[in-house]
Amino acid sequence: MTLPTTPFGTTGMDITRVGFGAWAVGGAEHEFGWGAQDDEESVAAIRYAVESGVNWIDTAAVYGRGHSEEIVARALADIGEAHRPYVFTKCGMVWDSDPAGPPARVGAPDSIRREVDASLRRLDIDRIDLYQLHWPPRDETPVEDAVATLHELRTEGKIRSVGVSNFNVGLLERAASVGGVDALQPPFSAMKRGVAADILPYCAKHNIGVIVYSPMQSGLLTGSWSAQRSADLPSNDWRSGSPDFTGESLHRNLALVDALRTVAKRHDTTVASVAIAWTLAFDGVTGAIVGGRRPSQVDGWIGAATLTLTTDDLDDIEVAIDRLQVGSGPSRPWG
């Protein structure tokens, strides 16, 4: 299958509006794990997404402490060059021998160089299509030094494009002083809308590609979540400790899902596809990263790649967000 594509900022790549997110396939053995995961199902899910037309995969070294990257390599091993998706990964989250301990946010040039070589080995590729600094550094390395190192890696041919994740406008401005970035990866969903106020307009103005993560808010906006599923989450699933998945917040979030369900029925599609298409309706958003732990989950969101919400749809979602007082930030696309 093929899906429509759109230019991805200044990367030179044209990407599908949805990409496969490989966070959950990293498994449970890290601080933000998603519980036990079957590797064979992970491989099958990635391959099915590619067969369904998705042309990019987003992972990170820290997902499963390298395990997610290894799973991506396994999934792509038998896919011919003509059908291979772009591979995006991240650096700057360094872990030690304690699998349960929090990773350190590091931007030191020598660390980034070690990390890129390790990711290339795990992914079994010669060049990473988009290499992203996962979080702003906390090791006293100036953001400028970290971004400059990414530019050096591009000159050396180890990466194709320079990206960052979880940066605000001020940090993007600082990155611009040393060559800027091709792409940004921020969190964005109908529940978490803060980036729509300033970051998305900034990226649109400066032609920075944007791939948003957690557009289904880690499962809450799929249409299949329930209070019982929250109660049944194992302790090694990070969501079990998230306030979004408990109490009054969970009640409001599930009420928002009911509003999305009404829109989904109009289009004969899924709630998940509507939730993702809502993020894609914002100017500046190039694509959305969507996870999957098994092939059947891909069927639940692949429709977002071709779904365009109407003015009435956006009006109804805006009314629901405002009535339920879910999250903060703009409750509909501008313009």
- What are 288's strand-pairing partners? 18, 212
User: In angstroms, what CA-CA distances link 96 with 65, 136, 142, 172, 230?
Assistant: 9, 19, 23, 29, 30
Q: Which of 63, 86, 131, 213 is catalytic?
A: 63
Let me know if 63 is a catalytic residue: yes
Q: Write out the two tokens for 282.
A: 């914002």
> In angstroms, rounded to a whole number, what is the distance separating the alpha carbons of residues 192 and 113?
33
C-alpha to C-alpha distances, 97 to 102, 111, 194, nearest whole angstrom? 11, 16, 35
Q: What is the 3-state secondary structure (H, E, C) of 211-260?
A: EEECCCHHHCCCCCCCHHHHHCCCCCEHHHHCHHHCHHHHHHHHHHHHHH
Ramachandran sector of residue 214 (left: φ over 0; alpha: ψ -120 to 50; beta: rest): left
CA distances from 107 to 97, 141, 161 (A): 20, 6, 17
DSSP state of 45: H
* Cα 35 versus chain centre, distance: 18
CA distance 163 to 210: 10
Residue 288's nearest CA partner among 310, 303, 299 is 303
Tokens 């591979």, located at residue: 87
Residues 6+ apart with CB under 8 A from 170: none
Distance set, CA 238 to CA 35, 99, 129, 136, 245 (Å): 8, 14, 29, 21, 10
| Catalytic residue positions, numbered | 63
